[in-house]
């Protein structure tokens, strides 16, 4: 008896199909993990830690709005500030933006200044992103030739800082998080009620200590 040979299934074809299928599944898994992190890996609430200890923020630097107008950071001195450093090309940055939007939209936090400062290469890139993905916080851009103050420089992004009215950095965290968490809203509400130490004591040097 002679064995039948299927000429339509050349040697190695089945193996190549299996490899292609495995590669497709692997690529899809990677896409879900990286570009849809809210599905694959829900964001955890922030730790509300201050990794560098209590530091004073510098207000002597300037960003630009999306029309190119200079915006000095000193404009926000005396207010509680939620500062997020991000970029449009950063998947974790984009993943946490909805939670920042929701937090900034809370009516009880209207006295908090919410800022998302982009470190993208071009301002136009940020303009196009915001046109398709409206953001509640004020969106600013810092020129690549301009360095952030040392206290806002980190090993990665997103990086988020919360400042009290006197300019003290009370929260400093790197990495994506669910910022619309009750603990965050509670902290910001406390900072709204806390007076600026310099104004409260009449000591103009308090913000430089």
Digit-coded pLDDT (tens) for 124-177: 999 999 999 999 999 999 999 999 999 999 999 999 999 999 999 999 999 999
For residue 74, the model assigns a pLDDT of 97
Among 15-19, 63-67, 80-84, 177-181, the least confident range: 15-19
Higher pLDDT among residues 30 and 60, named by residue: 60
| Residue range 66-79, pLDDT digits in tens | 999 999 999 999 99
Tokens of 36: 């849809």
Higher pLDDT among residues 191 and 5, named by residue: 191
The answer, yes or no, to whether residue 63 has pLDDT greater than 90, is: yes
The answer, yes or no, to whether residue 205 has pLDDT greater than 60, is: no
Share of the chain above pLDDT 90, in %: 67
| Residue range 166-187, pLDDT digits in tens | 999 999 999 999 999 999 999 9
CATH superfamily, region 55-208: Glutaredoxin (3.40.30.10)
């Amino acid at each position: 008896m002679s064995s039948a040979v299927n000429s339509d299934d050349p040697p190695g074809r089945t193996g190549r199909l299996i490899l292609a299928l495995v590669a497709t599944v692997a690529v899809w898994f990677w896409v879900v993990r990286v570009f849809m992190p809210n599905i694959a890996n829900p964001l955890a609430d922030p730790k509300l830690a201050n990794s560098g200890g209590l530091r004073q923020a510098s207000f002597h630097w300037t960003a630009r709005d999306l029309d190119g107008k200079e915006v000095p950071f000193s404009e926000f001195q005396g207010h509680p500030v939620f500062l997020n450093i991000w970029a449009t090309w950063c998947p974790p940055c984009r993943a946490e933006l909805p939670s920042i939007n929701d937090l900034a939209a809370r009516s009880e936090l209207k006295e908090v200044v919410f800022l998302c400062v982009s470190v993208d290469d071009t301002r136009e890139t940020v303009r196009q992103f915001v046109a398709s993905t409206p953001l509640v916080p004020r969106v600013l851009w810092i020129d690549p030739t301009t360095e952030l103050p040392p206290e806002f420089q980190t090993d990665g992004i997103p990086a988020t800082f919360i400042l009290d009215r006197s300019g003290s950095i009370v929260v400093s965290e790197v990495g994506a998080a669910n910022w619309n968490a009750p603990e965050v809203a509670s902290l910001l509400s406390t900072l709204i009620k806390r007076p600026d130490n310099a104004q409260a004591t009449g000591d103009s040097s308090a913000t430089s200590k």
